Amino acid sequence: MHTAEAIVPAPAADTVVEVQNLEKRFGAFRAVAGISFSVTRGEIFGFLGPNGAGKSTTIRMLCGLLTPSGGTGRVAGFDIRTQTELIKTRIGYMSQKFSLYDELTVEENIDFYSGIYRVPADKKAARKAWVLEMAGLTAHRSSRTSTLSGGWKQRLALGCAVLHEPPILFLDEPTSGVDPNSRRQFWDLINALAGQGVTVFVTTHYMEESEYCDRLGIVYRGELIALGRPRDLKTTHMTDAVLEIDCERPHDAMAVLAKIPSVKETALFGKGLHAVATEAGPAIAAIRDALAAERIGLARIERITPTLEDVFVSLIEARDRAAGAQQEFRR
Amino acid sequence: MWERILTLLRKEFRSVLRDPRMRLVIFGLPVIQTMIFGYAVTLDVRHVPLAIVDRDNTVASRELVTRFTGSAYFDEVARTFDDDEARALIDSTRAAAVLQIDAGFERRLHAGQPAPVQLIVDGADSNTARYVVNYASIIAATAGNATALDQTLRLAGRTLPVGSVDLQPRAWFNADLESRHFYVPGIISLLVMLISLMLTSMAIVREKEVGTIEQVMVTPIRPVEFILGKSAPFAVIGFIDVVLVTAIALLWFHIPFRGNFALILLGVALFLLSTLGIGLFISTVCHTQQQAMMTTFFFFFPAMLFSGFIFPIANMPAFFQWLSLVNPIRYILVIIRGVFLKGVGFEILWPQCAALLVLGIAVMAIAISRFRKTLA
């Protein structure tokens, strides 16, 4: 795709995941529409996007669970089409659905994956102890997995995925359905693993989680629409000014703002509004006038640094406008 | 390789045995089925409820009635002179047959004339009706012969040898023609098929449904390891059930066992190739356990009906006879019944063993190739 080509980063020396024009079609539907990127050793690489954007499909192709329809890719130096069995020895994977055996105990699940991954006999006990310790489950080692809370299940799943000490870890929405505290603990574990040199590829749709990533790709409708460090995304991909407006009746205010030509977008944000404009100064003046005319009390209006959510929303809306225009044109 | 298979095996046994419903399927079902087939499913016709309409009421007619009711095959349930009442008895199935002797029976008999006796049979159940007619004919013929012999003797006034053909049938292997001896060993084959088919397909589809299979598929496990690890436990359970049903058959129902048990185990091992293969195949076309269960039964019932388990294959139309050649139950039934009742050995049963081997390898090959594709 044209946009994907434009954002291909120069391949680094220590590249562990590399993808060129990767594509997956299900019938007429293009779940992944030609994406290219690379991930370097020890990096936490995030894939941010709404549900159905193609995040899981991409991860499943990288793990050898799905065969790509087009494009090429290498994981740990092995081809994702022909060397999936080799890839599987180098990676750990955690799917978005909890997928350990509910009817087995914590310890039995660990033993199971330890056996399937053929962890050497002399290391088995140490790895098991490490997982139990890491997940905080030492006291619950004999509990049925079905009785564990979400956070525990998720840490156990992570433990089972890294029993064989893989250099690359794929996490597909690992924190969905887990309370914020457990989510925070989970990210501490991910950071610790990355600190030991493990490359982490993680998908998410939580904005605040994506801030923890070293680098972030934003995917939408099967395409990679932005790629970079979270800090850079906020500056380079957001040339427009973001204004934070604290006013009365934000719903009515939104309707008023929509009529101002210099305001490109408005969105409810907390108790107030965020508005996007090309130039901050003239837009602020126009908004003050318009709200005064409608007798809507304005407490505060100022330009702010965009959040990742602003970037995300702005990129997606720009993309939708472009797609809409294209359709108009075709007609 | 073996480490992974053993790991899967251990896990599979834990999962299955921890589930109380599964425990019931594995150990309860064989006992219940054996009891049902041992007691309830019998084609032996005995104690047929018989209504009597004796309008002659003479020594000869009463003697004929006694010949019927005195046998083990008929029980007198009513005696009437009313045709409508006799009809009502049949309609309400209180009687399965009516024996009607008209006035003048004894007179005609003594005059050496044919003495007609009417037997009305409830033909709705054609199988039972056929037996009833057979039994009644034999009884009537015996009575007729006795009368004829008696008369001849009296006329001649002396003993004279009456030449007659005397057929003395002997049913080998099942002297009393007890259908229980035929059905109970056959249950082994049905149970092994049902259990191995259902457990294999359900166990794999369950992992698909819950999502655990994905976690296993990203490990470097090889398809052959997965397949062996997932099917071997159910083969073991199949063998346990064979022993269980055999024990019930011998100790409870006293079914004769004349052959070598090892031959049955060999036959079951070959038979399991097919059933596990079919189970595996079902798991590749189903996405939920419910679908797997339905598909299992959809396959199981025709397979049972066209196997010779109840209805002889020789009675089927040619097309179904051909079709039954690919039915593994057909062969294992011959092996099991042969070993149980006839005590025959491998030198007789090798064609069945060979058929099961060929069939099993073919089914397994198809299932495994399909399985690899769906996993990829």
Burial class (CB in 10 A: 0-12, 13-18, 19+), A70: middle
- Which residues in chain B have Cβ-Cβ distances shorter than 8 Å to A99? 210-212, 214-215
Tens of pLDDT along B325-358? 999 999 999 999 999 888 888 888 999 999 999 9
Has residue B150 got a pLDDT over 70?
A: no
Q: Are residues A62 and A102 in the same domain?
A: yes
Mean pLDDT for the stretch of residues B8-27: 88
How far is the C-alpha of B86 from the C-alpha of B105, rounded, in Å? 19
Question: Alpha-carbon dihedral of residues A72, A73, A78, A82, nearest 10 degrees?
Answer: -40
Q: Are residues B86 and B55 in the same domain?
A: yes
Query: Which pLDDT belongs to residue B82?
Result: 84
Q: Are residues A243 and A215 in the same domain?
A: no
Which of A98, A116, A117 best tests the B interface by mutation, with the highest count of B CBs <10 A? A116
Higher pLDDT residue, B80 or A200? A200
Q: What are phi and psi of B360, to 5 degrees?
A: -60, -45
Has residue B143 got a pLDDT over 60?
A: yes
Q: Which of A99, A116, A157 sits opposite B7 (nearest CB)?
A: A116
Residue A299 sits in a domain whose CATH number is 3.30.70.260
Q: How confident is the model at residue B168 (pLDDT cuts 50, 70, 90)?
A: low
The average confidence (pLDDT) of chain B is 85
Query: Which pLDDT belongs to residue B154?
Result: 62
- Which residues in chain B have Cβ-Cβ distances shorter than 8 Å to A111? 7
Q: Is the CB of B62 inside 8 Å of chain A's CB atoms? A: no
Q: How confident is the model at residue B69 (pLDDT cuts 50, 70, 90)?
A: confident
Å between B11 CA and nearest CA of chain A? 7
Q: How many percent of chain A have pLDDT more than 70?
A: 94
Q: How confident is the model at residue A290 (pLDDT cuts 50, 70, 90)?
A: confident
Q: Are residues B32 and B64 in the same domain?
A: no
Q: Are residues A194 and A277 in the same domain?
A: no
Q: Are residues A226 and A250 in the same domain?
A: no
* Helix, strand and coil percent figures for chain B, each rounded to 5: 70, 5, 25
Query: Which pLDDT belongs to residue A9?
Result: 46
Which of B17, B219, B225, B230 best tests the A interface by mutation, with the highest count of A CBs <10 A? B219
Asked whether A24 and A192 are in contact (CB, 8 A), the reply is: no
In Å, how far from its chain's centre is CA A115?
A: 31
Domain's final residue, options A177, A212, A234: A234
Region of A202 on the Ramachandran plot (φ > 0 left; ψ -120 to 50 alpha; else beta)? beta
For B20, name the nearest residue in chain A, comparing CA atoms only: A103
Q: Are residues A182 and A217 in the same domain?
A: yes
Mean pLDDT for the stretch of residues A187-196: 91
Q: How confident is the model at residue A252 (pLDDT cuts 50, 70, 90)?
A: confident
State the ipTM, two decimals. 0.78
Query: Which pLDDT belongs to residue B156?
Result: 55
Has residue A62 got a pLDDT over 90?
A: yes
* Stretch 108-137 of chain B: residues touching chain A, C-beta under 8 Å: none
A146 in a structural domain: yes
Q: How confident is the model at residue B268 (pLDDT cuts 50, 70, 90)?
A: very high
B/e letters for A90-122, b = 16+ CB within 10 Å, e = fewer, are: bbbbbbbebbbbbbbbbbbbbbbbbbbbbbeee
Does the distance separating the beta carbons of B19 and A101 come in below 8 Å?
no
Has residue A4 got a pLDDT over 80?
A: no
Query: Which pLDDT belongs to residue A191?
Result: 92
Query: Which pLDDT belongs to residue B171?
Result: 61
Q: Are residues B182 and B292 in the same domain?
A: yes
A317 in a structural domain: no
Q: Are residues A112 and A255 in the same domain?
A: no
Determine the 3-state secondary structure of A258 from DSSP. Answer: helix
Q: Which of A67, A115, A157 sits opposite B4 (nearest CB)?
A: A115
A6 in a structural domain: yes
Q: What one-letter code names the amino acid at A208?
A: E
Q: Are residues A159 and A247 in the same domain?
A: no
B272 in a structural domain: yes
Q: How confident is the model at residue A312 (pLDDT cuts 50, 70, 90)?
A: confident
Q: Are residues B233 and B108 in the same domain?
A: no
DSSP sequence for A188-240:
HHHHHHHHTT-EEEEEE--HHHHTT-SEEEEEETTEEEEEE-HHHHHHHS--S
Query: Which pLDDT belongs to residue B162?
Result: 47
How far is the C-alpha of A239 from the C-alpha of B26, rounded, in Å? 68
Query: Which pLDDT belongs to residue A327?
Result: 58
A329 in a structural domain: no
Tens of pLDDT along B196-232? 998 899 888 999 888 898 899 899 988 888 988 988 9
What range defines the domain where residue A46 resides? 2-234
Has residue B360 got a pLDDT over 90?
A: yes
Mean pLDDT for the stretch of residues B75-81: 88
Domain's final residue, options A188, A206, A234: A234
Query: Which pLDDT belongs to residue A6?
Result: 42
For A87, name the nearest residue in chain B, comparing CA atoms only: B220
A250 in a structural domain: yes
Q: Are residues B99 and B220 in the same domain?
A: no
Q: Are residues B141 and B197 in the same domain?
A: no
Q: Are residues A128 and A228 in the same domain?
A: yes
Find residue A44's DSSP bridge partners. Answer: A200
B317 in a structural domain: yes
Q: Is the CB of B18 inside 8 Å of chain A's CB atoms? A: yes
Q: Are residues B201 and B349 in the same domain?
A: yes
B165 in a structural domain: no
Q: Which residues contact A203 (CB under 8 A, 6 or more apart)?
A: A46, A47, A48, A49, A55, A56, A58, A59, A171, A172, A173
Region of B254 on the Ramachandran plot (φ > 0 left; ψ -120 to 50 alpha; else beta)? left
What range defines the domain where residue B346 resides? 10-42+178-375
Q: How many percent of chain A have pLDDT more than 90?
A: 42
Q: Are residues B137 and B103 in the same domain?
A: yes
B5 in a structural domain: no
Q: How confident is the model at residue B23 (pLDDT cuts 50, 70, 90)?
A: confident
Cβ neighbours around B197 below 10 Å, total: 28
Q: Are residues A146 and A280 in the same domain?
A: no
Query: Which pLDDT belongs to residue A81?
Result: 92
DSSP state of A306: P
DSSP state of A78: E
Q: Are residues B198 and B313 in the same domain?
A: yes
Has residue B80 got a pLDDT over 90?
A: no
Does the distance separating the beta carbons of B7 and A112 come in below 8 Å?
yes
Residue B61 sits in a domain whose CATH number is 3.40.1710.10
B350 in a structural domain: yes
Residue with tokens 């590829």: A201
Q: Are residues B82 and B229 in the same domain?
A: no
Å between A24 CA and nearest CA of chain B? 14
How far is the C-alpha of B142 from the C-alpha of B149, rounded, in Å? 10
Q: Are residues B142 and B286 in the same domain?
A: no
Q: How many percent of chain B have pLDDT more than 90?
A: 27
Q: Which stretch of A119-128, A178-187, B129-138 has the lowest confidence by average pLDDT?
A: B129-138
Has residue A178 got a pLDDT over 70?
A: yes
Cβ neighbours around A189 below 10 Å, total: 17
Does the distance separating the beta carbons of B211 and A97 come in below 8 Å?
yes
The average confidence (pLDDT) of chain A is 85
Has residue A325 got a pLDDT over 80?
A: no
Query: Which pLDDT belongs to residue B175?
Result: 59
Could you give the number of structural domains in chain A? 2
For A107, name the nearest residue in chain B, comparing CA atoms only: B11
B161 in a structural domain: no
Q: Which stretch of A171-180, A214-223, B9-18, B36-45 has the lowest confidence by average pLDDT?
A: B36-45
Q: Is the CB of A108 inside 8 Å of chain B's CB atoms? A: yes
Residue A44 sits in a domain whose CATH number is 3.40.50.300
Q: What are phi and psi of A39, to 5 degrees?
A: -125, 135
Does the distance separating the beta carbons of A63 and B218 come in below 8 Å?
yes
Q: What are phi and psi of A178, to 5 degrees?
A: -120, 145
Å between A219 CA and nearest CA of chain B? 23
Has residue A286 got a pLDDT over 70?
A: yes
Tens of pLDDT along B272-300? 999 999 999 999 889 899 999 999 999 99
Q: What one-letter code names the amino acid at A301?
A: I
Does the distance separating the beta carbons of B214 and A116 come in below 8 Å?
no
Q: Are residues A149 and A258 in the same domain?
A: no
Q: How confident is the model at residue A122 (pLDDT cuts 50, 70, 90)?
A: very high
Q: Is the CB of B312 inside 8 Å of chain A's CB atoms? A: no
Has residue B369 got a pLDDT over 80?
A: yes
Query: Which pLDDT belongs to residue A329?
Result: 54
User: Order of strands, edge to edge, in the sheet holding A241-247?
Assistant: A263-269, A272-277, A241-247, A298-304
Find residue B76's DSSP bridge partners. Answer: B50
Q: Are residues A196 and A215 in the same domain?
A: yes
Does the distance separating the beta carbons of A117 and B215 come in below 8 Å?
no
Q: Are residues B127 and B111 in the same domain?
A: yes
A298 in a structural domain: yes
A312 in a structural domain: no
Could you give the number of structural domains in chain B? 2
A81 in a structural domain: yes
Has residue B148 got a pLDDT over 80?
A: no
Q: Are residues A249 and A180 in the same domain?
A: no
Has residue B259 got a pLDDT over 60?
A: yes
Mean pLDDT for the stretch of residues B312-330: 88
Mean pLDDT for the stretch of residues B48-69: 88
In Å, how far from its chain's centre is CA A196?
A: 21
